[in-house]
Each structure stands twice: as C-alpha cells, then as structure tokens.
Chain A
Amino acid sequence: MIRFGVVLCVGLAVVVTASRYFSDALEGSDFWADRHSALDYMARSVPIETAVGSTKVVEDARLWMPEDARYRIVAAPDLQGPLQWAAPDFLAGFLLPRRQTESEDAPWAFCYLCDPAELGDRFEVLSDGGNGVLFGRVRP
C-alpha cells in the first residue's frame, strides 16, 4: 500500500513534468532570453523611469559626473510617490562610485519638481527631462 503511494507520487511527478511543464520551462526561457536580448542599453542598464523620473536625465548625470563626484537631491516639499521614496536609492545604485550627499556644497544636483531658484544663481542645468526632473552643476 505504501509502495503504491510512493509509485503514485513519483508517477504524478513524471506526468506533471512530461505533460507540459518541462516544455513550458524551455519555451519560457527562450521567450525571456529573446526579450532580454532585445532590450536596448537604456532599458537594460538604466533604472526605470517610474523610479528615477527620467532615464535620459540620470544617464546624462552619469556621463557628466566624474567618478569621485558628490551630488545631492533637491525635491519639492510635496513630492510624493516613488520619486520621493525610491529615487535616492536607485540613483545611489546607478551612480556609484559617485556619492550622494545631503551637503549643500555638493557640486552636482538633481532637482525633482523643485524650485531651481533654491539651487542658487550658479546652478547650471545640464539635462532636463521635461517633466520637472533636472540635473545640473553648481558653478564654483
């Protein structure tokens, strides 16, 4: 009786794998491989727009800042959603070894729906996402 149960368990495993799921796994892998292969650099290597506001702006930021740069994020006081709680972490991960800081002395800055005047006259916009997401440098 117990041995029948064992055979039943193994038999069910064989039926489940052979009936559909093994071929599903291979087809699924092929599907995702093709899909990942079709991604372009921006989709694969730059954080998504939902989290950072503008892929173009953050890629510009990476290309502008030297690796030892320090940057800060200035956000509108009423900023809500992922741009408020996720953008700093995503930017940290993407832009390392460049360091995120809260210091106002940081020579580079992101502006998330902020008032650019807050960043002073010396703030030069280097990239504008067209949706309130800006990146620039503070001239010495």
Chain B
Amino acid sequence: MTIRAIVGLAALNLFVLGVGAGVLWGLRGWRTWTEFVRLCGVAYFLGIASLFVVLTLELVAGIPFGATSVALTGVGLVLGGLLVGRQRGHRTPRLSSGHDSLRPSLLGAVFVGAILVYLEALFRPGRLSGLGWDVWASWVPKAKGIYFSGGIDADLFASLPGPSYPPGLPALHAAAFNAMGSADPVTLHLQQWFLAIGFVAAVAGLLAPRVRGWILLPLLLLILLMPDLRNRATDLYADIPLGYLLSVAALLVILWIEDSRSWKLWAAALLLSGAMLTKREGMLFAVCIVVAALVATFRERRTLWPRLGAASLAAFALVLPWRVWFMAQNISSDAPEAGYLGVFDHLDRLWPSLELVVSVFFDYDLWLLVPTLAVASVVFAYLGGARREAVFALTLLATSVVGSAWTYWSNPSLEIGRGDGLVNRVVGSPLLMVGVLLPLLLELAWQGRSEPRVAARQPVRGSLLSWRTAFAVVIVGAALAAYPAITLAGGAPSFPSFDDCVQAPIEGQKVRVVFGYGATYPEAVALRDRALEVGFQGTDVAQDGCGRVRVFLDNVPTREIGEEIVGEANTVDLQPTVELDPDD
C-alpha cells in the first residue's frame, strides 16, 4: 500500500517484459525497434507464460523460490532467447524503417486516448481494493505459502480449495511480493492492471498492421468496456489473466492460419501452456482453440496439422511436470466431480447447463454487444471469403460455449444458476477469445474477395511530422494527462498509514495517554508492564485498528491532565503522547 510497493510491482512487470522480449527474439526477432514497440504486449505475455512454465518447473523440482531464483530464471530465459535468435540468424534491429510506422488518424487518436483514459481509471480502484472470497481462501494463501516458504508446501496446497490448481499465478504473485518488499495482497491488485495494459498492447500490436484503425479501435474499446470484464479487471481471481492468455493465443493462432508464420504458432503454444498453468479451465479452452484450428485448416491438413499437433503436444508437455507432481503428492485431481464418463449419469444437467451458459454468454448487461457482433462478424467474414478464419472463430465459439456448459454438467455440486457469479467467470474467457477475433473478422469481411489479403493500413510515406501526426499526438497526450490532472485536482491520493489511527486531541474532549505502539502484543505488553511498574495504573494494550498494538491509559478527562501525565512519564524515561480518546 506504499509507493515503494507500486514501484516494485512496476519493476517486476518491466522485468517480465524484458524476459518476454528475450523469448520473442528467439521466436522471431524484430527488424526495427518500432516493430518491437508494436509487439511489446505479445512480448509481455510471452514473459508471463514462460515464467509460469519455468517457475512451476522449479517449484516442482524443489529449487528454492525467491527474488534471486526469479531473477536468474529471467536471465536464463533471455539468454536462451538470444542464443536461439543468433542461431536463427536474427540481425541487430534498426531504429525504424519508415515502412512499419502506421499512418496516424485523428479518429484513431480519439479512440487511443479513450483507451488510455480507461486504463488510467482502472488503476485507482485496484490500488486499495479489499480481497475477494476465493482470493482470501485460495489464491493469497498459495502465493504467501510460496513467498514465505520458498517452495510449494504440499500440505498447505492440499488443504486449500482447488488444491490441484496450477501454481503459475501464485508464483507470479509471490514474485510480486518479493518485488514489493512484503506480502501485500492489497497492492497486488495492481498486478492485474499491468496485465490489462499488456492485453491491450498485445491485441492492438498484433492487429494494427492487419486491421484498419476505424475497425480495430472502437471494437477494442468496446471489449474493454464490457461491464463484467471491467468489474473484475483488477480482482485477484485467475479468470481474467486466463482470459488474456487464451485470447492472445487465439489471436496468434488465427493469424498463423492466415499466413502460416511459425513463430505465431509457437508463441501461441507457449501462451496456452501459460493458460494451462493458470487455471484448470485453461486446459479445456486450450483444447477448444486447438480443435478450432484443426477444423479451420482441414483442407491443408497434410501440411498444417503436423505442425499444429507438434505445437499442441509441446504446450501440453510444458504443463506435465505440475500434473505429475500433484498426482505424486496424492493431491486431489482437477478432473470433474462426475468423472469424464460419469457425466452421462447426470444427463438431466446437460440442457440446463447449456441454457445457463448460452443465456449468460449473450447477456447484454454483462458483455454489451460483443457476443452478438462476434456472431455477425463470423457471418460477414464467411460471406466475404475469409472462410478459414470464420470457421476458426465459429468453432472456437461453439466449442468454448459447450465446454463452459460441460463444466457445469460435469460438476454436480455446482448449482445451475447465476447466483454466485461463477458462470460469468467461466464464460468470460470464451468471450474475450471471440471478442479479440472480432476486429480481424470484420477487416476480412471489409476486404472481401476482391482485395488481396494485404496489410490494411498503408505505411507512411514521407515525413511523420505532418499536421495530422501533430494533432494525433496532441489528442493522445491531452487524454493521457487530463485524467490524472482532473483526479489530482480533487485531492492527493491517500496512502494508508499507521497515523490513520492516531487522532489529535480536541479541547474539551476526553483524551488518552499513549505510551507507544508495538508491532506485536509481546512488544506492547513489555512496554505496558514498564508503565505499570513505575505506577501508571490502568495502562492497557489493545489493537489500534491499523495493524499495531497501542499501549495506553484512557479516559483521561482533559488534555491538560493528559499533558501532566506525559510530564510525569518523562521523568521516568517514558515518552508518551496525548491522543483523542474516541471512546470506542
């Protein structure tokens, strides 16, 4: 809850970006630094996913977890990426080629400004948020367990809800505790904010060369504004990170289907491993993405299926160490309660489960028009001749909806209803997946059969310093500065401190003489005993409501009497102060 914690978290996320940049260099490299800036979001998620994979492997292998091991892991990944990049002949990037700069537009600048303001606004509620139910009960204990013990305590994991849930996110959270300097689950909410920035950057960066701005930016903003997404954007559940990883992976797969560039497939495979190490639904939705890709590439099955199969197997192989570990530890399985075939004993749940998921999927109040537009975009893209992409999106939508329904069908203890909001969390990932495909599908529909499938936006010819660029920069800059300026004008941000529980005395009201504060009761009791010893009878200890223990003498009628007591205490080497006694 301090600036130091926020700075530590920012440093951790820069580190993640650096790790992902190393991995991206190994996978594809970049010709210019402007190209790298465009792909920063993808690099960030590659960093997240590769850290999930390697840190999980280290935890399973019993390698002590800590700031040093995380840093060395990151360095190792970067070095690995550099070596692979060198072997593959990636050349040192230039600053800019002039061909990878996109033509700025004023309308685009307005939407970019709006997206930036939205992200700025998301920071504030996350910073001082309380913790949700499963966050207290499952996610925070796991992260704290790793942070404090430097490993996975099998007994602790086994005792918590979702014992076989993978440790990718708790490991990241434990690394965040290290970076923040303490196990501060409140500030940890801002980790989700960094993930949100990474998600926006990844989607925009992947689609910018393919989708024209007037299609991409309004739809990206619409996705961000989905009420259920923004309500949960900074909570500490794993659903949103899972949705981000899956949706960027789905986007990479559809782009691979378009151009068969292998780095996209392997990057997607790594992100799918990350998703499978985030939550058990990661496995389910990863299968949906693979199935959708298989169906969409049926005609090219001889050339593409072996590559898809290899990438899928590699993605699964990276998750195996965790699965082997939890089975070896006899930790209860993450399989559905009814078992894989036992679901047929619960056929009565099939239709209600599907009905629930479909009704939530198309609920305007939760997701606005995104699912409806996704269906429409599939139809338009198909009619426009982008059949493989449309089939991929439609199959992904259908399988992930059926998959979401299966989670209800196969877990009889889950009440089929919207009551606890669980269904929103399950459906959120499929929605994000099909949501990010929406701009590409509409672009393909726009291009239709008549236009060759080329970059939708033409590179800038000539100088970037046109009036249009200048206006666009001003608009984005103004949007970026306006929100903090307006917010700060309403008052400086508050940082909780111990002083919140110290009230200055008020003339004519009762006061208490406070001998000091202890970080623990034993410390405070020692101070109280000293006060009692020298004659301050009635001195007591109690929690102060801000995380410390107060040593005090209360019910002092006036400030003057309080100050007399302070004077007496000073003569015996005690240094009390006078505070208001609110009589609570």
Contacts and interface: CB of A to CB of B under 8 A. Distances in A.
B218 interface: yes
A14 interface: yes
B442 A59 contact: no
A29 B125 contact: yes
B376 interface: yes
B543 A63 contact: yes
Contacts of A89: 136-138, 141, 159-161
Contacts of A123: none
B383 A44 contact: no
A10 interface: yes
Contacts of A37: 128, 493-494
B222 A63 contact: no
Contacts of A28: 230-231
A25 B230 contact: yes
B104 interface: no
Interface in B508-556: 520-522, 543, 545-549
A16 interface: yes
B124 interface: yes
A33 B159 CA distance: 34
A28 B228 CA distance: 12
B230 A97 contact: no
Given A5-B380, A26-B117, A64 B521 contact: yes
Interface string A5-30: 11001101110110001101110111
A68 to B, nearest CB: 10
Contacts of B379: 5
A36 B125 contact: yes
Interface in B488-504: 493-494, 496, 500-501
Contacts of A9: 219, 373, 376-377, 380, 442
A40 B445 contact: no
B101 interface: no
Interface in B435-494: 442, 445-446, 448, 483, 493-494
A96 B145 contact: yes
A129 interface: no
Contacts of B546: 40-41
Contact of B445 (A2, A21, A22): A2
Interface string A63-74: 110100000000
Chain A interface residue number, banded: 35 or more
Nearest to A60: B543
A51 B137 CA distance: 9
Contact of B114 (A22, A30, A97): A22
Given A3-B448, A45-B186, A89-B161, A33 B124 contact: yes
A5 B159 contact: no
A132 interface: no
Q: Is the interface of A mostly helix, strand, loop or mixed?
A: helix
A47 B138 CA distance: 13
A88 interface: yes
Contacts of B445: 2-3, 5-6
B369 A6 contact: no
A44 B130 contact: yes
A92 interface: yes
Contact of A30 (B118, B124, B218, B549): B124
B549 A63 contact: yes
B121 A13 contact: no
Given A45-B547, A89-B138, A13 B186 contact: no
A86 interface: yes
A86 B369 CA distance: 37
Of B141, B148, B224, most buried by chain A (CB within 10 Å of CB) is B141
B496 A44 contact: yes
Nearest to B148: A97
Contacts of B160: 89, 92
A139 B182 CA distance: 31
Given A37-B494, A63-B521, A86-B137, A29 B122 contact: yes
Interface in B66-102: none
Contacts of A22: 114, 118, 221, 225
Contact of A17 (B148, B156, B225, B545): B225
B133 interface: yes
B501 A12 contact: no
Contacts of B222: 13, 16-17
A23 B584 CA distance: 40
A92 B144 CA distance: 9
Given A5-B376, A42-B545, A63-B549, A93 B130 contact: no
Nearest to A29: B121
B384 interface: yes
Interface of B: 114, 117-118, 121-122, 124-125, 127-131, 133, 136-138, 140-141, 144-145, 148-149, 156, 159-161, 183, 186, 214-215, 218-219, 221-222, 224-225, 227, 230-231, 368-369, 373, 376-377, 379-380, 383-384, 442, 445-446, 448, 483, 493-494, 496, 500-501, 520-522, 543, 545-549
13 contacts: A5-B380, A6-B380, A9-B376, A9-B377, A36-B130, A37-B128, A45-B130, A60-B521, A88-B159, A89-B160, A90-B136, A93-B141, A93-B144
Given A36-B127, A86-B133, 6 more contacts: A10-B214, A10-B442, A26-B483, A33-B127, A89-B137, A96-B145
Closest 4 CB pairs of A and B: A33-B124, A32-B125, A93-B141, A97-B148
